[in-house]
């Protein structure tokens, strides 16, 4: 079955690559209309997944990721319309030059081809990925988690109907309609038909894809995120930034996990952090120096692996450091290269931090919660890449393309 899906996707990608921007945008609007027209069927299917998730003991945060309602579905449909407004990267020309012999040379953006996207628990990803793939000229094979099976069936049915209505093969968006995990492994072997694997999920999924794929894999989305409060920081502003980064949506990859505080301000600042965040339900894991400055029921000693944990919940690590060097050493040792920042009024410290911290997103005086395609002006995203090739950070339309060299001659031959 997967081989046939790969073959269909490859053929569909060749056709999709020649569609105009206007054609793709029209289909994106049809897809948004289809989701709203099929709202009742989609929400009924989602209710089955939510009920099963609760019965199977899924956590409250996973149930929240899984849940669709009228408002969320309307937002998902609106996301497709927003993608239609974004510039189309396909066909963009750049690095144009003319050689002394008259050859005209340029690079030109083209789709990657066929994407295999493997994800868990979030039915909105089904639509976000489908929309971005269509706009960037890529066919896509989707494999959602078993906990979203009913929801994804309903969503893909609507999206494929819109494709057909728009005169495009519904093989542009295909869905592995089975919870059988062996099919993930089969997908990872389709090197002749799939050009890029993008996993969205926990560390186990990413490791499995890296170890078993015969196709290039873009990994990321796992964030152990830090903020360093140096001795020059505006401490009142720092409190609000930390509160936002930790509590605004704690279950996502760009939520804050660890606060590092300069020793010179720690005695004043750390108790204020605890008093400010504890009422929001935050508990703390403090290393010995930080713990010695705190006396609060919400503070617990940090365990051996706590600073290597992506909490995805209202837990925050606290550590006192002697300065910028120790802060950056801690980040280098424990960060997943997702989102890390410094809170400072020192331009020198800010410049060193930006230059030396090797993360996909590096912040100065801002919450880590902005590592998101829409917040960075890219629209929706497929994933957050934490590796260096071929894309880094939020993967939106341009990151779903590559380029080719185009050389125009006038009967040139090489001498």
pLDDT of residue 398: 93
Q: Which stretches of the chain drop beneath a pLDDT of 50?
A: none
Place of tokens 């890449």: 385
Between the two ends of the chain, the Cα-to-Cα distance in Å is 51
SS3 (DSSP) at 402 = strand
Distance CA 20, CA 393 (A): 28
pLDDT of residue 1: 83
**Which DSSP letter does residue 326 get?**
H
- Answer yes or no: are the C-beta atoms of 207 and 240 closer than 8 Å: no
Structure tokens at 377: 């002006």
pLDDT of residue 334: 97
pLDDT of residue 289: 97
SS3 (DSSP) at 114 = strand
Decide the pairing of beta strands 383-385 and 283-286: unpaired
SS3 (DSSP) at 77 = helix
The neighbour count for residue 241, using CB atoms within 10 Å, is: 22
SS3 content of the chain, % helix, strand, coil (to 5): 45, 20, 35
pLDDT of residue 391: 87
Distances (CA, A) of 339 to 202, 220, 294, 331, 394: 17, 11, 27, 10, 11
pLDDT of residue 331: 98
pLDDT tens string 101-131: 999 999 999 999 999 999 987 899 999 999 9
The CATH architecture to which 225-370 belongs is: 3-Layer(aba) Sandwich (3.40)
Give phi and psi for 2, each to the nearest 5: -65, -35
Distance CA 275, CA 122 (A): 34
Distance CA 133, CA 231 (A): 46
Angle at which helix 70-85 crosses helix 21-37, to 10 degrees, equals: 170
* pTM listed for this prediction: 0.88
pLDDT of residue 390: 82
Structure tokens at 190: 């389709």
CATH topology of domain 2-219+387-408: Aldehyde Dehydrogenase; Chain A, domain 1 (3.40.605)
The domain segmentation of the chain, as residue ranges, is 2-219+387-408, 225-370
Decide the pairing of beta strands 283-286 and 315-321: parallel
SS3 (DSSP) at 298 = coil
pLDDT of residue 13: 96
Distances (CA, A) of 399 to 2, 135, 210, 243, 253: 25, 12, 20, 31, 19
- Answer yes or no: are the C-beta atoms of 236 and 202 closer than 8 Å: no
pLDDT of residue 237: 98
Distance CA 125, CA 181 (A): 19
pLDDT of residue 323: 97
pLDDT of residue 196: 96
Report how far Cα 235 is from the mean position of its chain's Cα atoms.
30
Whether the bond between 390 and the residue before it is cis, its omega within 30 degrees of 0, is yes
Distance CA 218, CA 308 (A): 22
- Answer yes or no: are the C-beta atoms of 86 and 28 closer than 8 Å: no
């Amino acid at each position: 079955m997967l081989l046939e899906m790969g073959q269909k996707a490859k053929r569909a990608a060749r056709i999709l690559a020649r569609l105009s921007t206007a054609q793709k945008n029209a289909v994106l609007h049809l897809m948004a209309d289809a989701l709203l027209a099929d709202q009742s069927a989609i929400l009924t299917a989602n209710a089955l997944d939510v009920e099963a998730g609760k019965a199977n003991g899924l956590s409250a945060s996973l149930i929240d990721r899984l849940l669709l309602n009228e408002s969320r579905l309307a937002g998902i449909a609106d996301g497709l319309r927003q993608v239609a407004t974004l510039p189309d990267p396909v066909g963009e020309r750049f690095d144009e030059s003319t050689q002394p012999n008259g050859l005209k040379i340029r690079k030109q953006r083209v789709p990657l081809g066929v994407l295999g996207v493997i994800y868990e628990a979030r039915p909105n990803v089904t639509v976000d990925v489908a929309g971005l793939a269509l706009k960037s000229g890529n066919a896509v094979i989707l494999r959602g988690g078993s906990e979203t099976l009913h929801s994804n069936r309903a969503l893909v049915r609507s999206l494929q109907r819109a494709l057909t209505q728009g005169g495009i093969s519904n093989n542009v968006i295909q869905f592995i309609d089975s919870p059988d995990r062996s099919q993930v492994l089969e997908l990872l072997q389709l090197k002749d038909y799939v050009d890029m694997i993008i996993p969205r999920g926990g560390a186990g999924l990413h490791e499995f894809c890296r170890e078993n794929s015969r196709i290039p894999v873009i990994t990321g989305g796992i964030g152990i995120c830090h903020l360093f409060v140096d001795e020059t920081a505006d401490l009142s502003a720092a409190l609000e930034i930390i509160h936002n980064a930790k509590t605004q949506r704690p279950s996502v990859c760009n939520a804050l996990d660890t606060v590092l505080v300069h020793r010179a301000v720690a005695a004043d600042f750390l108790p204020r952090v605890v008093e400010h965040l504890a009422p929001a339900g935050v508990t703390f894991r403090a290393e010995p120096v930080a713990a010695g400055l705190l006396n609060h029921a919400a503070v617990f000693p940090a365990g051996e692996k706590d600073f290597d944990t992506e909490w995805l919940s209202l837990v925050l690590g606290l550590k006192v450091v002697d300065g910028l060097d120790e802060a950056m050493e801690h980040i280098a040792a424990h960060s997943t290269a997702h989102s890390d920042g410094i809170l400072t009024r020192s331009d020198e410290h800010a410049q060193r931090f930006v230059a030396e911290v090797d993360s996909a997103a590096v912040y100065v005086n801002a919450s880590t919660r902005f590592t998101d395609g829409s917040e960075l002006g890219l629209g929706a995203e497929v994933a957050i890449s934490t590796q260096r090739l071929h894309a880094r950070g939020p993967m939106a339309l341009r990151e779903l393309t590559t380029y080719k060299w185009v050389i125009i001659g006038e009967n040139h031959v090489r001498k």
